[in-house]
Structure 1
Amino acid sequence: MLSKKVAAAVAGILTAGLAAVVPLSAPAAVGESPVAAAAQQAPAISWGRCKDPDLRKAKAQCGTLVVPLDHADPTGPTVSLAVSRVLHTRGPFRGAVFTNPGGPGSDGTWLAPYGKYVPRKIGLTYDWYGVDPRGTGASRPLLTCDKSYFGWDRPDYVPTSPKIMKYWRHTTEKYAKDCGRSKAKRLLGHVRTTDTATDFDLLRQAIGVDKVTFFGFSYGTYLAQVYATLFPDHVQALIMDGVIDPDRVFYQSNLDQDPAFQKSFNAFLAWVGKYPKTYHLGRGRKAVERTYEHLRARLKRHPAGGKVGPDELDDALLNAGYYNGYYPYVADALASLVNDGNPAGIKELYRSSNPVGKAADNSFAMYLAVQCTDAVWPKSWKKWRNDSRRLDRKAPFLTWANNWFNAPCRTWPVAGKSRVDVTAAGLDDVPVLLLSETHDPATPYAGALAVRKLFPSARLVAGVGGYSHAVSLSGVACTDNAIAAVLRDGSLPARKAGNRADKECRPLAPPTPPKEKDARTAPLQLRSWWSR
């Protein structure tokens, strides 16, 4: 998932060498999908001033979209969705872009200003929309199950004893039960991706356009696929960054992450090992890995400051697994703990992904609420255990943490349904742009190849050798110009034969540590690690 408010300065505008122009479809008569037929026309949105200062600075407008709780019962109870928009400031006006940052469970109104990052100011010829999906952010009702779920000095994720195994099984089962008793429990049966996709189509109706471009990051790519499957007549173009394979949602896709994150974490350790005089954690990946393993074993015996144990350490370090731009911040925090015994940086990184306070678990609760009901999950604990034991042998960094993170789905209070059969029917002439770094850990590259095969009009732009997740519009001209081209007139790279990328780009380069340690400042907000 794209991190909230990631710095995405657009560096250098180059002309991309594009071929095989696929023209954007002209507006057609409004068609009906099975889901649209069940929903009533959306009411108008009263747009006004945004509360968020960043949205106000971007001259965004905010409002509320009221939609049915159950789209099969359009006259029944409703939910309120927070929506935002930044209107086009240049011509010719090319249409509306709907965005979703991923998760699931992430709020999305903050994405409305992202048009300014598209090269050549092409993004400014569109109206951009952000939405806090049902149950998240400023939408109401808000799902929260246990605001204190992410505590300090928890038992090790790795169940090296029956006692630890029992603790985590009980804890995850209890969380699922708590969600079933939440004040917003009425949401639980109505937060599948099909529900959110239909919400987006009601937004389309409310703003009075026939076709939209859907720009999804991470889980947002699956939402885009489902939207296009349900409402193919209303798709102008699809842009998907960090692509999910719809045939593997979601139990299998989470297992796929474990070895991918191991490779990404190893890449971070190797980067740290290039700067032994800066971080004093060892020279080369193996040396830094030994330092990490010794620290983890020590924290298991004696948590730093009585709070930071091996789980909190791994959750903090996972930020580097998602995005190489965080390498210096994560390395600083690790070095401070190892060399000075100071856990402050690790604590801050842990809390960036595991907040405290009112509704602190909202994103986690909604992540589960969507994934647990979007597909059928195994009920057998033996299968969960055996799969994790197998993967842990080659991917110990994330495997058990990922197991416990998703384990509430095994006993979730609302049963999962069969996944959506994503198809490209009716989309033959729709431009589809796929973006992925080849070592993306959260949505492995195989997913982008699978979706390229599924959509005949799709083209894949790959960041070769990159380990970051969903980082388009971050200044890599080769990638960002491909986005500008498809938004400009539907241009796509020529499709190549075989199961491969249609265009190869350099990946997002990892930074070089600043020479002065005190010149480094942490980003405003690090990505939440449940954002897939």
Structure 2
Amino acid sequence: MLEVPLNHARPGGRKIQIAVSRVLHTDPDYKGIIVGNPGGPGGSGLGMARLGAAIPNGVGAKYDWYGFDPRGVGSSTPSLSCDPDYAGAGYDRPDYVPTKRWTKRWWLRVTKKYARDCSRADAKALLPFMRTTDVAADLDALRAAVGAKKLNYYAFSYGTYLGQVYATRYPKRVGRFVWDGVLNAKNAFYQANLDQNIQFDKNINTYFRWLADHDDTFALGTDWRAIRRGYYRLLDRLDRAPAADGKLGPDELSDVMLSAGYYVYDWVAIGEAYAKLAKTGDGADIIAMYAGPGDDNGFAVYNAVQCTDAKWPGWKRTQADAWRIHRKHPFLTWGNTWFNAPCLNWPAASRKAVRVSGDRIKTPILLIAETNDAATVYSGALATRRAFPSSYLIEGVGGTTHSGSLSGIACTDDTIAAYLDTGKLPKRKPGNNRSDQKCDPVPAPEPTDAAARSFGPATNDRMPADLRSLLSNAQRTQR
């Protein structure tokens, strides 16, 4: 446990505890410490100490790998929880899309109640001190506690934003940084969610195309547009008559299908379960994939960070944006809107966002993004590349997987290993609106591959399956 100030501006005041894990180096060619973050915000990072084993060519063994549960998360104390029985994550929710007046009232009421419950939570003293700047200060306290002059850092998704804030605040302490699934700091976090709504809709179309291309396996037809229309008809039907003993409504189905927009790893398993539901009405396999309400801690911290890191608009703009985007991109828009709606009434004040800048950083920083990543859209990687002139961007061309490094793509993974080994990257390409290195994306699975039929990462993934699951759970928080 690492003791840090609750408020870093008052280091002599109340202290909190950050849970830390460590795996020591085994190679005598010691490179220093490296800290991992899986994203979220709200994801437990203790498992990240095991990430070194996934780095090619044994390079990971040259580092001491550290993981940590950010303040308020998991084993850190106090741990934040607002309402373990939050109705907005249960099985009896109304449809996300508020086509009925009572549906909108229901969602506004329960999300407001969730925010109110957070103000009454045992860990409510945390709420004013849950910004990314606070977590960055904790990260630097970890570096100092270990006695390292510089921080090396490997992060995914929201963790890339934490890295940008850290690098802006502590530029002289930046060592070797790898950011995979790069968030656009200028869009944190309201605009970033609007960007997600558009790209996830495009990605689910990509998935429907894949299902159509494999009609011999899924028997859903060869017209992807017809599959898409069938999906929305099925949502309407589940709204009227939920399946799987009343547990599978439109929200649960869309939450499961959302995984296909995040990653290609589960495409086969989701496709088989969806086809079974669509053709027979049997939703048992789909509901088995639904995570359910789960641990409230991740959702509480997700809100505690996002609602205070930057200014959040009121309901009038939120509703207008949601209907505007929903008309063309309906797949995620209203689900994402309600997922973030506690911010409309959050009990801690939102503040001005950090303006990140890498102008003072001379060491190379490695960025990784797939072209059609929906959780952290590719334009964010380009924006970060511009903001950090020493950065170098690998693009997984045409891919839809979020934070998919170390998935067995040699072009990407070997570059990561070489960078962590030497601290050097190839020469950056001229211009601002381009990547520096083009690699294959994480490939879509073949339905004939027996391993792809189970729910989980592909067999060529360099990461252990449980560690990949830790990442995906952190990045989706509670869905």
TM-score range for the pair, normalised by the shorter chain length: over 0.9
Corresponding position: 1:366 with 2:301 = yes
- Seen in structure 2, the aligned counterparts of structure 1 residues 531 and 478 have a Cα distance that, compared at 3 Å, is farther
* More displaced stretch, 277-286 vs 383-392: 277-286
Specify the alignment match of 1:39 in structure 2: none
Q: CA deviation at 1:175?
A: 0.8
Q: CA deviation at 1:515?
A: 6.1
- C-alpha distance in 1 between matches for 2:40 and 2:448: 31
Letter in 2 for 1:291: G
Specify the alignment match of 1:452 in structure 2: 385
1:139-194 CA-partner distances (Å, limit 9, x unpaired): 11111111122111311111102111111111111111111111111110111101
Specify the alignment match of 1:394 in structure 2: 328
Contact 1:243 1:448 in 2 (8 A): yes
- Seen in structure 2, the aligned counterparts of structure 1 residues 463 and 89 have a Cα distance that, compared at 3 Å, is same
Corresponding position: 1:228 with 2:152 = no
- C-alpha distance in 2 between matches for 1:488 and 1:207: 21
Specify the alignment match of 2:140 in structure 1: 201
> Which of 400, 412, 419 is 1:467 aligned to?
400
1:373-432 CA-partner distances (Å, limit 9, x unpaired): 1111112x11001101110011100001111111111110001011111111431x2111
Contact 2:266 2:454 in 1 (8 A): no
Letter in 2 for 1:195: D
3-state SS of 2:34 partner: strand
Report 1:245-260 matches (<5 A).
245-260=184-199
Q: CA deviation at 1:531?
A: 4.3
- Seen in structure 2, the aligned counterparts of structure 1 residues 306 and 464 have a Cα distance that, compared at 3 Å, is same
* More displaced stretch, 340-349 vs 480-489: 340-349
Q: CA deviation at 1:348?
A: 2.0
Determine which structure has the larger helix proportion and give its number: 2
- C-alpha distance in 2 between matches for 1:302 and 1:277: 29
* More displaced stretch, 492-501 vs 243-252: 492-501
Contact 2:368 2:395 in 1 (8 A): yes
> Which of 156, 165, 172 is 1:217 aligned to?
156
Specify the alignment match of 2:208 in structure 1: 269
Corresponding position: 1:321 with 2:258 = no
- C-alpha RMSD of matched pairs (Å): 1.6
Contact 1:440 1:469 in 2 (8 A): yes
Contact 2:359 2:389 in 1 (8 A): no
Specify the alignment match of 1:55 in structure 2: none
Corresponding position: 1:154 with 2:100 = no
Corresponding position: 1:139 with 2:76 = yes
> Which of 298, 314, 319 is 1:385 aligned to?
319
Specify the alignment match of 1:413 in structure 2: 347
Specify the alignment match of 2:221 in structure 1: 282
3-state SS of 1:324 partner: coil
TM-score by length of 1: 0.84
- C-alpha distance in 2 between matches for 1:326 and 1:494: 36
Specify the alignment match of 2:476 in structure 1: 530
- C-alpha distance in 1 between matches for 2:386 and 2:326: 31
Q: CA deviation at 1:522?
A: 2.5
Corresponding position: 1:521 with 2:461 = no
Specify the alignment match of 2:178 in structure 1: 239
**Percent of residue pairs identical:** 49
Contact 1:69 1:78 in 2 (8 A): yes
Corresponding position: 1:488 with 2:421 = yes
Contact 2:373 2:400 in 1 (8 A): yes
> Which of 333, 352, 374 is 1:441 aligned to?
374
3-state SS of 2:312 partner: coil
- C-alpha distance in 1 between matches for 2:161 and 2:257: 27
Contact 1:153 1:303 in 2 (8 A): no
- C-alpha distance in 1 between matches for 2:26 and 2:395: 31
Corresponding position: 1:430 with 2:376 = no
- C-alpha distance in 2 between matches for 1:234 and 1:346: 46
Contact 1:153 1:311 in 2 (8 A): no
3-state SS of 2:476 partner: coil
Specify the alignment match of 2:11 in structure 1: 74
Contact 2:259 2:266 in 1 (8 A): yes
Specify the alignment match of 2:462 in structure 1: none
Which stretches in structure 1 are left out of the alignment for 5+ residues? 1-63
> Which of 305, 310, 334 is 2:250 aligned to?
310
> Which of 90, 105, 108 is 1:166 aligned to?
105
Corresponding position: 1:176 with 2:115 = yes
- Seen in structure 2, the aligned counterparts of structure 1 residues 283 and 223 have a Cα distance that, compared at 3 Å, is same
Which stretches in structure 2 are left out of the alignment for 5+ residues? 457-465
3-state SS of 1:325 partner: coil
